Amino acid sequence: MTKDQVLILEQQGNISHLMLNRPEKRNALNDDLVAALDAFFADVPEQTRAIVISGTGGHFSSGLDLSQHVARQPLDVMAHSRNWHRVMARIAHSPVPVVAAMSGAVMGGGLEFAAACHVRVAEETVRFQMPEGLRGIFVGGGGSVRISRLIGTDRLTEMMLTGRTYSGVEGERLGLAHHLVPEGQAVEKAVELAGRIARNSRTINGFIIQAIAQIGSMPPEAGLYAESLTAALSQTGPDAEEGLKAFLEKRPPNFG
Amino acid sequence: MTKDQVLILEQQGNISHLMLNRPEKRNALNDDLVAALDAFFADVPEQTRAIVISGTGGHFSSGLDLSQHVARQPLDVMAHSRNWHRVMARIAHSPVPVVAAMSGAVMGGGLEFAAACHVRVAEETVRFQMPEGLRGIFVGGGGSVRISRLIGTDRLTEMMLTGRTYSGVEGERLGLAHHLVPEGQAVEKAVELAGRIARNSRTINGFIIQAIAQIGSMPPEAGLYAESLTAALSQTGPDAEEGLKAFLEKRPPNFG
Amino acid sequence: MTKDQVLILEQQGNISHLMLNRPEKRNALNDDLVAALDAFFADVPEQTRAIVISGTGGHFSSGLDLSQHVARQPLDVMAHSRNWHRVMARIAHSPVPVVAAMSGAVMGGGLEFAAACHVRVAEETVRFQMPEGLRGIFVGGGGSVRISRLIGTDRLTEMMLTGRTYSGVEGERLGLAHHLVPEGQAVEKAVELAGRIARNSRTINGFIIQAIAQIGSMPPEAGLYAESLTAALSQTGPDAEEGLKAFLEKRPPNFG
Amino acid sequence: MTKDQVLILEQQGNISHLMLNRPEKRNALNDDLVAALDAFFADVPEQTRAIVISGTGGHFSSGLDLSQHVARQPLDVMAHSRNWHRVMARIAHSPVPVVAAMSGAVMGGGLEFAAACHVRVAEETVRFQMPEGLRGIFVGGGGSVRISRLIGTDRLTEMMLTGRTYSGVEGERLGLAHHLVPEGQAVEKAVELAGRIARNSRTINGFIIQAIAQIGSMPPEAGLYAESLTAALSQTGPDAEEGLKAFLEKRPPNFG
Amino acid sequence: MTKDQVLILEQQGNISHLMLNRPEKRNALNDDLVAALDAFFADVPEQTRAIVISGTGGHFSSGLDLSQHVARQPLDVMAHSRNWHRVMARIAHSPVPVVAAMSGAVMGGGLEFAAACHVRVAEETVRFQMPEGLRGIFVGGGGSVRISRLIGTDRLTEMMLTGRTYSGVEGERLGLAHHLVPEGQAVEKAVELAGRIARNSRTINGFIIQAIAQIGSMPPEAGLYAESLTAALSQTGPDAEEGLKAFLEKRPPNFG
Amino acid sequence: MTKDQVLILEQQGNISHLMLNRPEKRNALNDDLVAALDAFFADVPEQTRAIVISGTGGHFSSGLDLSQHVARQPLDVMAHSRNWHRVMARIAHSPVPVVAAMSGAVMGGGLEFAAACHVRVAEETVRFQMPEGLRGIFVGGGGSVRISRLIGTDRLTEMMLTGRTYSGVEGERLGLAHHLVPEGQAVEKAVELAGRIARNSRTINGFIIQAIAQIGSMPPEAGLYAESLTAALSQTGPDAEEGLKAFLEKRPPNFG
């Protein structure tokens, strides 16, 4: 890939680093960029064990590119929203964990996108905002489900009513980010975390990102049952054997 | 209305400011006050675009007026609780957003009431407490649902078991408030926020306060579907047109 | 009981203080210890009004004793997990509230256990961690349900992917603890809280720990209905009478 | 009331018999008729213990009066639908049970209305149909929730795709009706059932129509807890005492 | 055991046949009988692969023994109901499937009990009824959850409001029974079915009775995930191997 | 396509007729056939308005081809099951309705497949069966979710425990089929129904098959809200206009 592309991939060993690359639009998510994400996640490289996503030009993403959104009919809006849902689900159900390195603007669709990632690093100067309400439209990229999962429906309602901005520091406190770093250091931290994640068993990483989310939508009793099924199944196959063997031999496991 | 009334309404342009007015009881919520709230929310003034609620005398509300509550039979308690639920639902489903300006005591039923509002401003000196457990009774004004939505069932359980008090500062951190201000400034901040909210499209404010809460009670897949329906529908009618036009023309929208 | 036992009970008036007592294993939860907890909660002493749980040797619990866990077949893992669920449910549904006094390691199964308690006190130096993922296994002691209830599925996913450690200070902020104390003071604080809880009506404490959790798994409308039923029922019997009488007479209630 | 009214009330002792009275339109539900139902259920006569609803002119109801529905804007359709939901909820949450006596056409909104009643009697010649799909519109009167509750989402989907008609005989088999009678006998049977229901305790009838429906939307464990609360509460007050006394004295209870 | 006992066990090879034995009370479920069921299901004989339950004297069970139920306080009613729930859950979560052979009266608590069994055979002359409502009390043995699961909340509401009786023929049609037999043949059919069930793998029978019910309380997407976990886990261990081997060798499997 | 293919497509105007074509295996669903279904539903012909699916050789489908299934590892079983779920979801979320024409064997995976279709026609001689349990394995193609949706978890549990067979006549009664026809007439009836469905608006057919299912997984209050959104949105665009115009002009609509 080259710098002309809206999505740049740098493969660093078993880590895929994706860069949103529309810096002149603060990486607004237009149809091309969504399609490029779709294509990547439909066919994650075989050797990849973790994915890092960042934005070029100092911003993660300013959200849906509204200049494309003008004058759509309601049923077109519905179709457009369902397509985002499909692509965001690909990310959330990625075969390997996804780490978002967030800087600058993380707004609207950009925050919806970040909320579909599994680990989120924020620079202190990040600006989280959901400005849709101010512009007279509702969210459509999954935010009412995924951002609510992070901060609750109550805080999301207030964010959208008032259009307020939260900083990276505040965002880490509320659940919009898991790690807080000084300006300019999000990618470095994200790559470090991706490296740590990549040393886990691919099987167990898959269960962690799938099963915990699924169990979270079950009633408690059913969730406990599903947890037991997952625990039992995670003991199957060579990775589980290596993990327990390494523990007994007091060495780090090597999951290949 | 006059100062003799348990609920004072001051209409400030398109903002309705309601004041709980039983200062000698720290605005304990007796049947008259609940009935007055019911009457107001059954017939919100046509011009109103946002509502501010505060308490006179330095307190938001000390909760259910227990002096009225003595010696009720169980089925009367049930009926009383269901009536609170009906009135609190009127507030939560208000045609326009409601901003609570909280000072002093925000206790028991007072906190249940605040939790039915959409935006909550707390003064640093606010005292949040759920003292029902200490008095040998359970909550009945919606708190087990609405306060749990803000801070989780686990924190509410601990609050009720120990009867602890959280300050305004702590409350903002936990989710009991969205904005923190020094003592004496809650109303001013609430009015400012109400003004900002009132500039939004009435239609979109309605979707924000209704749809996000409804989606929050759905399983994730169903929630995403409902989000797409809402997004599509929010594009219908003159407000949506003005919002997108204003965005293209780089001016603030005027939703009339 | 004697110091040789894996679980020590000290009865202090109406408070039962349980001490996990495998200090050489940082109180790792082996089958004997789980069985001892099972036995205690199956038959809580009649006079007990609150329970405190702590660990000897400076640690709460380092989690599942993996040295016992080696080479289990998947269906044995399932049975082992279901047995933990049964015992943890006994704790969560204990006839009286349970206060965890947490120091040192609160890891893996140790954190799952703490999450089944109703009140949690953390020393600042506590280390919260979910290391299962690093070892190639999933959780099986209820954590995917109960820890998610405290911090959300999103934060639990990140904890398990990266194996990160949260301090006591961070844990209190996130919801892993309700009270934060300096090193060495968790038991003292837990006993104080247990004493406060023990002065409540036993009936109302039972409703608080049962009903709020049950209502939390219901849709909102159904939850409100169940709240009204609970409120009405909590007015039945001599405790409710004493509580209201005491309130009117402006004295602390005496629930006997 | 007189024959000119769209809704006729005949009070027969403690039974209120409501007749939809637009026979020339096969009792299509226009705004006036919905408003009349709203007004009745907002203020059910004090002496009423059960309500019977039937249609004049040989039909229960042919559904929404589409001649009123023409050329509405989407947001008006939404408001219209929400108003139906409000009135149908009044019926479903009526203070006393409602028995529908169904004859002739029970179509579209007419079936949505019947599904909000607690007991449904069908004449063999009844024709159940959901024709909205054939006309290019979706249901809006609660049918996707309440008819699905009776026959499942799968059968409702098929009914709407094909526009098929089920007879009264088929409807009783599927769950659209509880009692099947020959043509012309629905009202008689409904009045008989209403009489039987009216002899029950008003309190217990209220719990039956409210609690079973609420429990039905809860996860199983939570539902069982709510059942126990309801059972306990149903033992409170004079009606419960009379019920048990009568059982012991082997006589029918007299709930007054 | 002898004929004096309220619960008779006949062990027939790998099938345990339990007989409710209070014929003079049409097998009304008093505390002794519930305790005897509790004791049996707490310790099902090792060799047992299926359980048959029937009633002596021509009736399955006339339900809760109300002669014991008189003059209980509300909180005692709650405790009594929770104890039934505990014992009924033991049956529903039995280690091996339970087949109910129903004759005569299957009323109230008797039907709640039958609904906790996994397979139900009804004689044509069975009389299903929920008479609690007529006596002024609500259900407390799990019926609002488990009978609703069989026939829906709507039919249960009607049954309780009118106190109607369904025959065995009708019950099989509605879902109260899976098999219909002439009078006097329920036990024979139940034993035959138990024999067929006992030839299945014990592991797979366990998954069938646990997993399908748990999945039934999950949202669809989560349910599908749990289904995949269960399918994968069911392939583990010697029973799965034998099952597939037998299929390939075109012989009946022998699960030992 | 030719007769050599496992899946034959006959395009009949705006109806696509798919034929499962492995008659020698009673149309057992092997990986090739599942892949062929996947490919078709990923790219439904533009002109298609309804899809009919039947089996050649007198059978609909005998289910998963177990001869391919031998000796899989648990994690492979999981992946295989998740792939079925993905393809079955494509069918259930097809852009146009799918009608299953069922004859002969409709067993195991064949019934899971049929349950993902929107309309099901059964010949009287159809044999519905879920034989997995007898072979020592659990379902993995969506049946625990989708067949439970048709007949409830209770009946599915019994089917799997006993391995019983239901006829077409019984299946129509229970909800496994919507239409019952004599042997040999399923395809003719299915094509007739598909023709009727194809005359509906494509937009409204899409809402019927998507929205009713999604609403069915929501709590009732949330479901009603989503119904209103759908009703409002269904009024948007040219199809809605034509539908209402045709109704007023008393002519069949022409949705083009």
pLDDT digits (tens, 9 = 90+) for D36-66: 999 999 999 999 999 999 999 999 999 988 7
Say yes or no: B232 and B191 in one domain. Answer: no
* Cβ separation D229–C230 shorter than 8 A: yes
Which entry of B112, B158, B221, B227 is annotated as an active-site residue?
Answer: B112
Q: Nearest C-alpha of chain D: how many angstroms from F253?
A: 7
What digits encode the pLDDT tens for the residues F105-128? 999 999 999 999 999 999 999 999
Say yes or no: A206 and A136 in one domain. Answer: no
What does the pLDDT average to over C118-135? Answer: 96
- Distance, in Å, from the CA atom of E105 to the CA atom of E107, rounded to the nearest integer, reads 6
- Picking from B184, B52, B75, the residue whose alpha carbon sits closest to that of residue B124 is B184
- Picking from E222, E234, E216, the residue whose alpha carbon sits closest to that of residue E92 is E216
- Distance, in Å, from the CA atom of D241 to the CA atom of C194, rounded to the nearest integer, reads 39
Q: In this structure, is residue A2 part of a structural domain?
A: no
What's the pLDDT band for B237 if we cut at 50, 70, 90? Answer: confident
Q: In this structure, is residue B228 part of a structural domain?
A: yes
- Tell whether the model's pLDDT for residue F156 goes beyond 90: yes
pLDDT value of residue A1: 44
Which residues sit opposite F180 in a β-bridge?
Answer: F122
Tell me which amino acid residue A199 is: R
- Distance, in Å, from the CA atom of B88 to the CA atom of B83, rounded to the nearest integer, reads 9
Say yes or no: F14 and F112 in one domain. Answer: yes
- Picking from A149, E217, A169, A194, the residue whose alpha carbon sits closest to that of residue C156 is A149
CA distances from D20 to B85, D90, D180 (A): 32, 17, 21
Say yes or no: F45 and F81 in one domain. Answer: yes
Considering all CA atoms of chain D, what is the largest pairwise distance in Å, rounded to the nearest integer? 64
What digits encode the pLDDT tens for the residues E104-159? 999 999 999 999 999 999 999 999 999 999 989 999 999 999 999 999 999 999 99
Asked if D65 contacts D26 with a C-beta cutoff of 8 angstroms, the reply is: no
Contacts of D72 in chain F (CB under 8 A): 235
pLDDT value of residue D237: 80
Contacts of E222 in chain A (CB under 8 A): 214-215, 217-218, 222, 226
- Give chain A's count of helices (H) and strands (E): 9, 9
C219, closest residue in chain F (CA to CA)? F219
Asked if F21 contacts F7 with a C-beta cutoff of 8 angstroms, the reply is: yes
What's the pLDDT band for F71 if we cut at 50, 70, 90? Answer: low
Start-to-end CA distance of chain E, whole Å, equals: 28
What's the pLDDT band for C69 if we cut at 50, 70, 90? Answer: low
Range of the domain at B45: 7-198
- Kindly give, in sequence order, each residue whose CB lies less than 8 Å from that of residue C249, ignoring residues fewer than 6 positions away: none
Cβ within 8 Å of D, B 62-121: 73-75, 78
Q: In this structure, is residue C253 part of a structural domain?
A: no
- Distance, in Å, from the CA atom of E52 to the CA atom of E91, rounded to the nearest integer, reads 12
- Residues of C marked active site are found at 112, 132
What's the pLDDT band for D1 if we cut at 50, 70, 90? Answer: very low
- Tell whether the model's pLDDT for residue B1 goes beyond 50: no
Cβ within 8 Å of F, D 169-188: 173
Tell me which amino acid residue B163 is: G
Q: In this structure, is residue C209 part of a structural domain?
A: yes
* Cβ separation F203–A75 shorter than 8 A: yes
Contacts of B162 in chain C (CB under 8 A): 119, 193, 196-197
Domain count, chain F: 2
Q: Is D132 a catalytic residue?
A: yes
* Cβ separation A82–B228 shorter than 8 A: yes
Say yes or no: F115 and F170 in one domain. Answer: yes
What's the pLDDT band for F1 if we cut at 50, 70, 90? Answer: very low
Q: Is B10 a catalytic residue?
A: no
Q: How many CB pairs under 8 A join A and E?
A: 50
Say yes or no: B64 and B181 in one domain. Answer: yes
Which residues sit opposite A19 in a β-bridge?
Answer: A8, A54
- Tell whether the model's pLDDT for residue F69 goes beyond 80: no
Q: In this structure, is residue A209 part of a structural domain?
A: yes
- Distance, in Å, from the CA atom of A73 to the CA atom of B231, rounded to the nearest integer, reads 11
- Picking from D88, D171, D183, the residue whose alpha carbon sits closest to that of residue D128 is D171
- pLDDT > 90 in chain C, percent: 87
Which residues sit opposite D54 in a β-bridge?
Answer: D19
Mean pLDDT by 10 residues, chain A (256 residues): 80 98 97 97 97 98 82 88 98 98 98 98 98 93 98 98 98 98 98 97 97 98 98 88 85 88
- Picking from B125, B115, B134, the residue whose alpha carbon sits closest to that of residue B66 is B134
In 10 A of CB D170, how many CB atoms?
A: 17
Say yes or no: B65 and B156 in one domain. Answer: yes
Say yes or no: A234 and A177 in one domain. Answer: no
Asked if C136 contacts A255 with a C-beta cutoff of 8 angstroms, the reply is: yes
Q: What are phi and psi of D128, to 5 degrees?
A: -90, 130
Say yes or no: C235 and C161 in one domain. Answer: no
Segment (H or E) for D196: helix D186-198
Q: In this structure, is residue E2 part of a structural domain?
A: no
CATH number at residue D239: 1.10.12
What does the pLDDT average to over F23-39? Answer: 97
B245 close to C (CB below 8 A): no
B172, closest residue in chain C (CA to CA)? C173
Touching B (3+ Cβ pairs <8 A), the chains are A, C, D, E, F
* Cβ separation D148–F224 shorter than 8 A: no
Q: What is the DSSP letter of B64?
A: B
Q: What are phi and psi of E55, to 5 degrees?
A: -120, 145
- Distance, in Å, from the CA atom of F196 to the CA atom of D162, rounded to the nearest integer, reads 6
* Cβ separation A246–C66 shorter than 8 A: no
What digits encode the pLDDT tens for the residues B109-128? 999 999 999 999 999 999 99
Say yes or no: F134 and F211 in one domain. Answer: no
- Distance, in Å, from the CA atom of B99 to the CA atom of C110, rounded to the nearest integer, reads 42
Q: Please tell me the total number of residues recorded for chain F in this structure.
A: 256
Place of tokens 């049409």: E26
* Cβ separation D78–B233 shorter than 8 A: yes
Contacts of B248 in chain A (CB under 8 A): 67, 70
Q: Name the E strands within E1-49.
A: 7-12, 15-20
* Cβ separation F237–A73 shorter than 8 A: yes
Cβ within 8 Å of E, D 32-71: none
Tell me which amino acid residue A217 is: S
pLDDT value of residue C247: 82
In 10 A of CB D27, how many CB atoms?
A: 30
- Picking from A67, E54, D132, the residue whose alpha carbon sits closest to that of residue F203 is D132
- Kindly give, in sequence order, each residue whose CB lies less than 8 Å from that of residue F148, ignoring residues fewer than 6 positions away: E212, E215, E216, F156
CA distances from F111 to B75, F114, F157, F171, F202 (A): 50, 5, 15, 11, 27
What digits encode the pLDDT tens for the residues E211-246? 999 999 999 999 999 999 999 999 887 888 888 888
pLDDT value of residue E26: 97
- Distance, in Å, from the CA atom of A122 to the CA atom of A179, rounded to the nearest integer, reads 6
Q: In this structure, is residue B2 part of a structural domain?
A: no
pLDDT value of residue F20: 98
Testing the interface with F: which of A90, A205, A236 to mutate, by most F Cβ within 10 A? A236
What digits encode the pLDDT tens for the residues B205-236? 999 999 999 999 999 999 999 999 999 999 88
Contacts of B233 in chain A (CB under 8 A): 74, 138
Say yes or no: C168 and C94 in one domain. Answer: yes
Asked if C238 contacts B80 with a C-beta cutoff of 8 angstroms, the reply is: no
Which entry of F10, F24, F46, F112 is annotated as an active-site residue?
Answer: F112
* Cβ separation D162–F244 shorter than 8 A: no
- Distance, in Å, from the CA atom of B83 to the CA atom of B75, rounded to the nearest integer, reads 12
Start-to-end CA distance of chain B, whole Å, equals: 28
- Kindly give, in sequence order, each residue whose CB lies less than 8 Å from that of residue B5, ignoring residues fewer than 6 positions away: B21, B36
pLDDT value of residue C1: 45
What does the pLDDT average to over C86-113? Answer: 98
**Beta-carbon-side half-sphere exposure of residue A153 (alpha carbons within 13 Å):** 24
Say what the ipTM of the complex is. Answer: 0.97
Q: What are phi and psi of C182, to 5 degrees?
A: -65, 160
In 10 A of CB D188, how many CB atoms?
A: 12
Mean pLDDT of all residues belonging to chain F: 95
Question: Is beta strand A98-102 parallel, antiparallel or unpaired with respect to A50-55?
Answer: parallel
Which entry of F24, F123, F124, F132 is annotated as an active-site residue?
Answer: F132
Q: In this structure, is residue A218 part of a structural domain?
A: yes
- Tell whether the model's pLDDT for residue E1 goes beyond 90: no
* Cβ separation A161–B212 shorter than 8 A: no
CATH number at residue E84: 3.90.226.10
F244 close to E (CB below 8 A): no
Asked if E70 contacts D244 with a C-beta cutoff of 8 angstroms, the reply is: yes
Say yes or no: F206 and F129 in one domain. Answer: no
- The secondary structure of C48-67 as a DSSP string is -SEEEEEEGGG-SB--B-GG
